[in-house]
Amino acid sequence: MGKLFAAIVAVITLISAGIFIARIWWLPPDISVLGVGIDHQLVETLIASGVLFVLAQLALAAFAWQYGAGDATRPIKIFPGGATPMVVLAVLLVGAEVLVLTFVGSRVWAGIFLSPPAANALHVDVQAEQFAYYFRYAGKDGKFGTLHPDMIDDANGNFFGLDPANDTTARDDIVSASLVVPVGQPVLLTLHAKDVGHAFYVPDLRIQQDFVPGLDIPLQFTATQVAKKEIVCTQLCGLGHFNMRAYLEVKPQAQFAEWLADQEAQLE
Amino acid sequence: MAETSEAPVTPHSDVLAGHGHAHLPPTGFLRKHVFSLDHKVIGKQYLDLALVAVLTGMVLSWLMRFHLAYPAAAVPGLGKIAPGVAAGGIITPELYLQLMTMHGTIMVFFVLTTAPFAGFGNFILPIQVGAEDMAFPRFNMMSFWVTLVAFLVLLASFFVHEGPALSGWTAYAPLSAIGKAAGPGQGTGQTLWALSIAIFCVGQLLGSLNFIATTLDLRTRGMTLMRMPFSTWAWFITSIIGLIAFSVLLPACILLILDRVAGTSFFVPAGLVVSDQLQPHSGGSPLLWQHLFWFFGHPEVYIAILPGIGIISHVLPAFARKPLLGPKVVLSCMGAIAFLSYTVWGHHMFLSGMNPLSATLFSVPTLIITIPATIVVLLWIGTLYGSRMRFTTAGLFCLGFVSVFVSGGISGFFLAQPSIDTYLHGTYFVVGHFHFVMGVAAMFGIFAGMFFWFPKMYGRMLNETLGKIHFILTLIGVYAIFMPMHYLGLAGNVRRYSTFTDEYMKSSLPLHRFITYAALFTGAVQLIFLFNVFWSRFRGARATANPWDATSLEWSTSSPPPFDNFGGQHPVVVNGPNEYGTAGPAGDHLMQAPALAPGG
Amino acid sequence: MAASAMIFAALTSALMVRKGAAADWRHIALPPILYFNTVILVASSATAALARRRLLATWIVAADSRPGTVPAGTGLTWLYVTLGLGVLFVAGQLAAWRELAAQGVFLASNPSSSFFYVFTALHGLHLVGGVIALGYLIWRVRTAGDDPPEQALGAATLYWHFLDVLWLYLLLVLILRL
């Protein structure tokens, strides 16, 4: 029985690790500036923990193979050195890994969430609701109109609750159902939710952030390639959660400017 | 923790309940089998409850898996049972989320908390410390019945208008706090959910209190703290964690209920527009719910897994026929894990909009907690080295536990790092991770405990052949289910989606189908275990007092033990629980209490 | 008790977080009867301590001189007084609620009133539990044969002091934060 168990564990371990190594299922290609650091960090963690995984499982399998009760005369042996080498090994190996990962990882994290927004960043206001996203650009004046939750009226297209009649800054606000951004320019999103918690996840950008009702949460990224990708919700928001998504359209600078001009023209 | 105080000389009888010195069992059927004060009956009741709950939870997961693999296909018969939410048997998105919420809630609360902790703990802990019963038998009985009521309240939500809650087992506010405007099931269903969990907390608080008092006050002569078996230590530490965790979740649930039914605004901020209606709430904080919930929620993971760690540390040496390597180190690690479990709750909230700096602060203890966990794993593997392992089913489940605990623990490395979590959070990687470490590992601990203690509980042996077949197939099955989930997560496959519409994640469908087949297969394999348990309960081979040549006190008394556990005698403990591989009168081990002392 | 303390610690931290998050925090005037109730509860704690001392003293004397039955003496009377004061405190808290309700301040009126009601209700529930425990203790003392319920006495009076301290703490939180 011990040998059967050992063989099964060894086979499972090798297949599991092999699929990771072969990259049969893998991350979609990265299209953001910060994604490189995240991918790097992920691969390093994968290698470090992969080695630990394979070693631990194979040691378990080898001992189970070796030390059955079959031979009743064989005396038991205590692991050389007792518990001390185990403790030292665990503390050193894992401790070193913890240190390295924390050090490198917190720099990557800081790059996304703790660095000040770039001066030339494009500001987009994002509202999530059951079960859609709306994106708002400030328009010509560069200022966002004030939000009035009591004036939200989906039927008439006033998703944000703007008050153009009394609020001049709101009159030129552009509202779009997709997030259109220029390639290479930093984008600063302000996330706020209309009803319940949602999330903003673009696997290709390697970023994810919750929308929390009552909070305005900043999120920044810079896309490096022209692309059209899906933005999906990862925070359970109700029955339409599975179908809540929008498109991220990364356009060349010129085409983006064209799109923006088009949108402005439609307002007038 | 390493205190070695002198154990009390005589076990006290129950203090508050006015229990006399009666050693005779009650005679009425109700008192004996239903409203019993006997910790052994209560332990079995908890295990039976967990068995019903785990089967319910498993059927729910089958429905979910079926729908994920075949979104357009009808589940045979479902259209008749639930025409409202599954017309023609096709699972609707809201039904999927309700199944998922109930699956998570039932499994976490009513299986992983009740079986390894309340179930085995109740039956075994008093015997292992040499007590006649728990410190407060009446509280103990209440604890079970309160828990049963909580379970029934939760099940009742299947039958109310619009069905059970759909907001997941974490019930994030404001989705959970607003009421039925937020979606189907968010009306009565969600209220019942919160009520059920609040009741459950009361039951577990009573239970934890009892475990702590029993461990501290009712140890028999010679049973110093350091001579307590690892399983008793684990239950003791778990009950301390539980006491703190459930007393945070309880008020959180009360506040949630008030937000829902009394119109308060603890968790709901101003200016929310739900279903075109401006909500009357103002000034609440959704993050407050997350903080309260995860301050309970993360320790809850250890409430599920620490008894497993204790059971493995207790059972493995009995089959390896040698002492556990580094017993004091194992105890220190359990203590360290328990302490650290209260410092890491924020790692569930890296992306929730709390201060990004705190993510780094929460990340460090989360990574550090892997150190004691790694040490324990290495000590188990080191114990196996040079052993004369008896590959019984219980022993095999111990080894299986080590394997899945490693697999589940290692993926935690990824999620503990905020920078990687920005990619993997909310994907199947997380689902694979916690199912391995909290679900499968804890279940393997339960299986190991079941095969180990079944003879003591029912006086009959479980069938070993069926047990081994069940073990091998289950081991293969769980890897086939949960390992591929990590691949899905790497590919960016989001969890909690009932279907993947449009082109989004269409490419993952074949892997989802594979997981579904594996889940149905592994579920079917559990029928072997179910049959084994029922058949052996009545027809299994008679068990001797100590079929495994184990050392702890439960093996010094008959199988099953008499009503007062030791037949009016008080065992006197002279050895620790870890004396394997030492020649003694009983063979290659020394009993904790070599012979029962005469009654007194 | 540790569990209860934790429940209220969690609630207090919830209150802090909630206050930090809220723009709509409004002060509510605490009903003056609360201070009267506080005096009653502190007094009941004193009578509980007195009852315990008297009972223990009586039991020791009885055990020395006259084994068989244990008299209760004046200690029992003080237990009744404690019980009465406990009931009076609960009644006083209910009066405080009525006073607030008469002012139009209800559970959902504003965040501070929500916390006020939750705190006082949970403490009240604990106190009702304490009253039941006291009642049980009195029954045990009255029916005690030659086995005086020393541990039950210790546990019940300790719990009573705990409720007292807990209330003082809550009152402080309410005064400082609401």
- Residue C114 to residue B18, Cβ atoms within 8 A: no
Q: Using DSSP bridges, classify how beta strands A122-129 and A132-137 pair: parallel, antiparallel or unpaired.
A: antiparallel
- Residue C114 to residue B243, Cβ atoms within 8 A: no
Query: How near does any CA of chain C get to the CA of B84, in Å?
Result: 35
C-alpha B146/C-alpha B199 separation (Å) is 7
Q: How far is CA B227 from the centre of its chain?
A: 25
Out of C10, C114, C136, name the one closest to residue B247 (CB).
C10
The label of the residue with tokens 């979910």 reads: B64
The whole-number pLDDT of residue A255 equals: 96
**Residues of B whose CB is below 8 A from A238:** 97, 166, 175, 182-183, 186
Tokens matching residue A134: 């709306």
Average pLDDT of A43-72? 91
Q: Is the pLDDT of residue B6 over 50?
A: no
Please state, rounded to an integer, the average pLDDT across all residues of chain A. Answer: 91
Q: State pLDDT tens for residues B464-508.
A: 999 999 999 999 999 999 999 999 999 999 999 988 876 777 888
Q: State pLDDT tens for residues B168-198.
A: 999 998 999 998 888 888 999 999 999 999 9
Is residue A105 a contact partner of residue B418, using CB atoms and an 8 Å limit? yes
Q: State pLDDT tens for residues B119-145.
A: 999 999 999 999 999 988 888 999 999
- Residue A217 to residue B496, Cβ atoms within 8 A: no
C-alpha A178/C-alpha A135 separation (Å) is 7
For A30-86, give the secondary structure using H, E and C: CCECCHHHHHHHHHHHHHHHHHHHHHHHHHHHHHHHHCECCCCCCCCCCCCCCCHHH
Q: Report the share of chain B in percent with pLDDT over 70.
A: 95
CB atoms within 10 A of CB B539: 9
The whole-number pLDDT of residue A73 equals: 74
* Helix-, strand-, coil-residue percentages of chain A, each rounded to 5: 45, 25, 35
- CA-based torsion, B491, B494, B498, B504: positive or negative: negative
C-alpha B379/C-alpha A83 separation (Å) is 7
Query: How near does any CA of chain B get to the CA of C13, in Å?
Result: 9
Widest distance between CA atoms in chain B: 79
The whole-number pLDDT of residue B555 equals: 94
Q: Using DSSP bridges, classify how beta strands A227-232 and A186-193 pair: parallel, antiparallel or unpaired.
A: unpaired
* Closest by CA position to B263, among listed B255, B275, B271: B255
C-alpha B138/C-alpha B37 separation (Å) is 6
C-alpha B77/C-alpha B59 separation (Å) is 13
For chain A, counts of helices (H) and of strands (E) = 5, 10
Characterize B550-582 residue by residue with b for buried, 16 or more Cβ atoms within 10 angstroms of its Cβ, and e for exposed: bbbbbbbbebbbbbbbbebbbbbbebbbbbbbe
Q: Is the pLDDT of residue A100 over 90?
A: no
Confidence of residue A204 (pLDDT cuts 50, 70, 90): very high
Q: Is the pLDDT of residue A99 over 90?
A: no
The whole-number pLDDT of residue C178 equals: 57
The label of the residue with tokens 């080898």 reads: A62
Closest residue of A to B382, CA-based? A79
C-alpha A212/C-alpha B333 separation (Å) is 37
Q: Is the peptide bond before A200 cis (omega within 30 degrees of 0)?
A: no
Out of A83, A97, A113, name the one closest to residue B325 (CB).
A83
**Residues of A whose CB is below 8 A from B501:** 242-243
Helix (H) or strand (E) holding B583: strand B580-584
**Residues of A whose CB is below 8 A from B512:** none
**Residues of C whose CB is below 8 A from B284:** 18, 21-22, 111
CA angle in degrees (0–180, nearest 5) for A178-A184-A190: 45
Q: Is the pLDDT of residue A48 over 50?
A: yes
The whole-number pLDDT of residue B82 equals: 78
Helix spans in chain C (H): 2-21, 33-65, 74-102, 111-143, 150-177
Q: Between these two residues, B479 and A95, which has the higher pLDDT value?
A: B479
The whole-number pLDDT of residue C144 equals: 74
Beta bridge partners of A220: A188
* Closest by CA position to B147, among listed B53, B243, B258: B53
The whole-number pLDDT of residue B171 equals: 94
Q: Is the pLDDT of residue A183 over 70?
A: yes
Q: Between these two residues, B83 and B441, which has the higher pLDDT value?
A: B441
The one-letter amino acid at B42:
I
Query: How near does any CA of chain B get to the CA of C43, in Å?
Result: 25
Tokens matching residue B266: 């603890």
User: Chains meeting A at 3+ CB pairs closer than 8 A?
Assistant: B
Out of B286, B383, B423, name the one closest to residue A213 (CB).
B286
- Residue B265 to residue C114, Cβ atoms within 8 A: yes
The torsion angles phi and psi of B220, rounded to 5 degrees, stand at: -80, 175
Query: How near does any CA of chain C get to the CA of B294, in Å?
Result: 12
Q: Is the peptide bond before B418 cis (omega within 30 degrees of 0)?
A: no
Closest residue of B to A52, CA-based? B410
The whole-number pLDDT of residue A137 equals: 95
Out of C6, C23, C114, name the one closest to residue B266 (CB).
C114
Confidence of residue A224 (pLDDT cuts 50, 70, 90): very high
User: Chains meeting C at 3+ CB pairs closer than 8 A?
Assistant: B
**Residues of B whose CB is below 8 A from C122:** 251, 254
- Residue C6 to residue B252, Cβ atoms within 8 A: no
**Residues of B whose CB is below 8 A from C155:** 15-16
Asked if the C-beta of C108 comes within 8 angstroms of chain B's C-beta atoms, the answer is yes
The whole-number pLDDT of residue C143 equals: 81
Query: How near does any CA of chain C get to the CA of B178, in Å?
Result: 14
Q: State pLDDT tens for residues B252-280.
A: 999 999 999 988 888 898 889 998 889 88
Please list, in sequence order, all residues whose beta carbon lies within 8 angstroms of the beta carbon of residue C62, skipping any fewer than 6 positions away.
C69, C70, C71, C148
Q: Is the pLDDT of residue B215 over 50?
A: yes
**Residues of B whose CB is below 8 A from A146:** none
Q: What beta strand segments (E) does chain A contain?
A: 122-129, 132-137, 174-176, 179-182, 186-193, 198-202, 207-211, 217-222, 227-232, 245-251
- Residue A114 to residue B357, Cβ atoms within 8 A: yes
Closest residue of B to A206, CA-based? B423
Asked if the C-beta of C102 comes within 8 angstroms of chain B's C-beta atoms, the answer is no
Q: State pLDDT tens for residues C8-37.
A: 565 665 555 554 444 455 566 788 888 899
Q: State pLDDT tens for residues B547-594.
A: 999 999 999 999 999 998 998 888 999 999 999 988 888 788 999 998
Q: Report the share of chain B in percent with pLDDT over 90.
A: 66
The whole-number pLDDT of residue C27 equals: 64
**Residues of C whose CB is below 8 A from B12:** 151
Q: Is the pLDDT of residue B251 over 90?
A: no
Q: Is the pLDDT of residue B514 over 90?
A: yes
Confidence of residue B79 (pLDDT cuts 50, 70, 90): confident
User: Chains meeting B at 3+ CB pairs closer than 8 A?
Assistant: A, C
ipTM: 0.95
**Residues of C whose CB is below 8 A from B20:** none
Asked if the C-beta of A114 comes within 8 angstroms of chain B's C-beta atoms, the answer is yes
Q: State pLDDT tens for residues B33-70.
A: 788 999 999 999 999 999 999 999 999 999 999 999 99
Query: How near does any CA of chain B get to the CA of A88, in Å?
Result: 9
The whole-number pLDDT of residue B3 equals: 36
Q: Is the pLDDT of residue B19 over 60?
A: no
Q: Can you state the angle between helices A84-113 and B356-368, rounded to 10 degrees?
A: 170
Edge-to-edge strands of the sheet including A122-129? Answer: A174-176, A132-137, A122-129, A186-193, A217-222
- Residue A105 to residue B419, Cβ atoms within 8 A: yes
**Residues of B whose CB is below 8 A from A202:** none
The whole-number pLDDT of residue B470 equals: 98
Closest residue of C to B267, CA-based? C18
CB atoms within 10 A of CB B350: 29
Out of B18, B247, B282, name the one closest to residue C24 (CB).
B282
The whole-number pLDDT of residue C68 equals: 56
Please list, in sequence order, all residues whose beta carbon lies within 8 angstroms of the beta carbon of residue B536, skipping any fewer than 6 positions away.
B454, B458, B460, B461, B462, B463
The whole-number pLDDT of residue B1 equals: 33
Please state, rounded to an integer, the average pLDDT across all residues of chain C. Answer: 79
C-alpha C173/C-alpha C15 separation (Å) is 9
Q: State pLDDT tens for residues A145-166.
A: 999 999 998 888 899 999 988 9
C-alpha A43/C-alpha A56 separation (Å) is 20
Confidence of residue A173 (pLDDT cuts 50, 70, 90): very high
DSSP string across B332-365: HHHHHHHHHTTS-GGGG-TTTTS-HHHHHHHHHH
Please list, in sequence order, all residues whose beta carbon lies within 8 angstroms of the beta carbon of residue A91, skipping any fewer than 6 positions away.
B371, B375
Q: Is the pLDDT of residue A5 over 50?
A: yes
DSSP code at position A246: E
Q: State pLDDT tens for residues B288-346.
A: 899 889 989 999 999 999 999 999 999 999 999 999 999 999 999 999 999 999 889 88
Characterize B385-402 residue by residue with b for buried, 16 or more Cβ atoms within 10 angstroms of its Cβ, and e for exposed: bbbbbbbbbbbbbbbbbb
The whole-number pLDDT of residue B598 equals: 53
Q: State pLDDT tens for residues B221-241.
A: 999 999 999 999 999 999 999
C-alpha B379/C-alpha B368 separation (Å) is 18
Please state, rounded to an integer, the average pLDDT across all residues of chain B. Answer: 89
